[in-house]
Amino acid sequence: MSNGRQTCDAVVIGAGFAGIYMLHKLREQGLSCRLFEAGRGVGGAWHWNRYPGARCDSESYFYCYSFSNEILQEWTWSEKFPGQPEIERYLNFVADRLDLRQDMTFEARVTSAIYDETSQRWTVKTSTGDEVETRWIVTAIGGLSTTAPNLPDIPGIESFAGEWYHTGHWPHEGVELGGKRVGVIGTGSTGIQAIPEIARQAAELTVFQRTPAYIMPARNAPLAEEEVAETKANYAEIWRKARAHRGGQPYDPPEFDFSDVTAEEARRLYEESWERGGLRVVQVFKDVYSNPESARFAEGFFREQVRRIVQDPETASIVEPKGYPLGAKRIALDSKYYETFNLPHVHVVDARANPIEEVTPQGIRAGGTLYELDVIVFATGYDAVTGPFKAIDFRGRHGVRLADRLADGPRAYLGMSFAGFPNLLAVSGPCNPALSTNVPVSIEHDVEWIADCIAWCDANGVTAIEPTEEAEEAWSQETQAKVAGSIFEQADSWQFGSNVPGKPRRFLLWLGGLTAFRERCAAAAEADYEGFELTR
């Protein structure tokens, strides 16, 4: 599309998992669409997150679209836990298979979207001068996005003589780390994946760890031909299970409570699951997050594994998980993370006891010691969920800014719509369960619900749909009520917004589980979009 004013029925923002499927669905329904994407190609998070070791910690056979059996049969995953290049290839394959590129504009960041109440149209503008008048906008901008990175405001960063990078904005051409002294700040899911790979390349690696994570071995491996064939033959059952699971995973829920077995048996079950690897390591007992005794046993088991792997006791005592309960922050998967600390050129700094004070031209000063560095890697995460919405100047009725509405915390109805912002719908918006689940399964739900909503409006002469203030307020309050009393309250995390200084401590995700969420969204739709104001 050339610059200049255009019109269409729907603008989709973002070409990741959500935007690709949204564009396909709306086109199938006969809408004229334009998708804008800031990146050079499709992929979303999987386009930007090219840091060494970037990998998915959901298994490939269910970290994908389920809507097309042809695509499921034609695509073959090579590994149990797919790396960034393979997921990016998969998303390119889907975009080509569905012939979507003609309606996509790349390297065009949406900067503003302004609603006109008289014409009931939005005007969308991009960084490259596109201007589109549209009836619908669907955001597919992700909750952990490079548009809203969390870059700690460390004094002196501008004086650093070396190079620095945020993992979410890793250069496409890669970064030459060979022979260099590298510092990594952050040990969340990203840092844990990047650290072993960076250690392979760098001459020296210093890890600045503020909070040690609970980490399970991924035990990644290539997929055998028979395994792939069996999965492809069983997809109907796999998706049935995934949709019945509160986290969108095709796993059987654990059968036992901790008190059902002896301590020896519990240890044996944990050892078995540790050897198998993957997210199921914490799915041995039903009550691991609700029974303090069950949780203490699991936490002790994790710490024992760390002390067994990490040879230096002082290093082990820094990196072993502690200070908050298992599950209160996101659990991570690793590939030889703890083993990395046995290498003579890898060091860890306890940045809780010795906080980072400043960046100097030579490196990072923490706890009074200067660590000399050539490269600093910020694996410091994101201004999650509300950050990407605040990065775009959305203005709804009466010129109200969405960024102002979100300043005190997340607000949305059904995690997909905003009061005062007609015909603006969000895949995985604020107060949505997506980021607490297997994300593609959540995305497919939201995309299909939004596509049905648009089709229903068109069939019923509804020109504008938006949630009532009351419905949005009730859903937003329910989001906070669901987290009250849960273990999430016992830690600081991006889910609470507490990773970003000044961000209100409000939980960003709806914790009711995907099955209950589906039911609530379906019930609202069946009741002719209960909770929404309809203009005809």
Binding region for ligand N01 (CB under 6 A): 56-57, 144, 152, 185-191, 208, 210-211, 330, 351, 356, 379-381, 492, 494, 499
Q: Can you tell me the distance from the alpha carbon of 285 to that of 278, in angstroms, rounded to the nearest whole number? A: 15
Place of tokens 């014409």: 119
| Smallest separation (angstroms) from ligand N01 to the CB of 77 | 15
| Smallest separation (angstroms) from ligand N01 to the CB of 401 | 26
| Smallest separation (angstroms) from ligand N01 to the CB of 101 | 25
The three-class DSSP label of residue 480 is helix
Report whether 451 contacts 458 (CB < 8 A). no
| Smallest separation (angstroms) from ligand N01 to the CB of 351 | 5
Please enumerate, as own/partner, the contacts of 265-269 that have beta carbons within 8 Å and a separation of 24 or more.
Answer: 266/297, 267/301
| Smallest separation (angstroms) from ligand N01 to the CB of 392 | 20
Q: Which residues contact 156 (CB under 8 A, 6 or more apart)?
A: 358, 359, 360
Identify which of residues 56 and 132 has a Cβ nearer to ligand N01 in the complex. 56
Please enumerate, as own/partner, the contacts of 286-292 that have beta carbons within 8 Å and a separation of 24 or more.
Answer: 286/253, 286/254, 286/255, 286/256, 286/257, 287/257, 287/258, 287/259, 288/254, 288/258, 288/326, 288/327, 289/325, 289/326, 289/327, 289/486, 289/487, 291/257, 291/258, 291/259
| Smallest separation (angstroms) from ligand N01 to the CB of 193 | 6
Identify which of residues 135 and 329 has a Cβ nearer to ligand N01 in the complex. 329
Identify which of residues 1 and 223 has a Cβ nearer to ligand N01 in the complex. 223
| Smallest separation (angstroms) from ligand N01 to the CB of 361 | 20
Identify which of residues 49 and 423 has a Cβ nearer to ligand N01 in the complex. 49
Question: In 3D, which of 453, 513, 444 has the Cα closest to residue 483?
Answer: 513
| Smallest separation (angstroms) from ligand N01 to the CB of 473 | 27
Please enumerate, as own/partner, the contacts of 267-270 that have beta carbons within 8 Å and a separation of 24 or more.
Answer: 267/301, 270/297, 270/298, 270/301
| Smallest separation (angstroms) from ligand N01 to the CB of 330 | 4
Identify which of residues 321 and 422 has a Cβ nearer to ligand N01 in the complex. 321
Range list of β-strands (E), 360-470: 363-366, 369-372, 375-378, 393-395, 424-426, 464-467
**What residue is closest to ligand N01 based on CB?**
188
Tell me how far apart the terminal alpha carbons of the chain are, to the nearest angstrom: 31
Q: Can you tell me the distance from the alpha carbon of 89 to that of 482, in angstroms, rounded to the nearest whole number? A: 37
Question: In 3D, which of 292, 293, 288, 291 has the Cα closest to residue 273?
Answer: 288
Identify which of residues 126 and 145 has a Cβ nearer to ligand N01 in the complex. 145
Alpha carbon 16 to its chain centroid, in Å, reads: 11
Identify which of residues 69 and 159 has a Cβ nearer to ligand N01 in the complex. 159
Identify which of residues 227 and 492 has a Cβ nearer to ligand N01 in the complex. 492
Identify which of residues 286 and 330 has a Cβ nearer to ligand N01 in the complex. 330
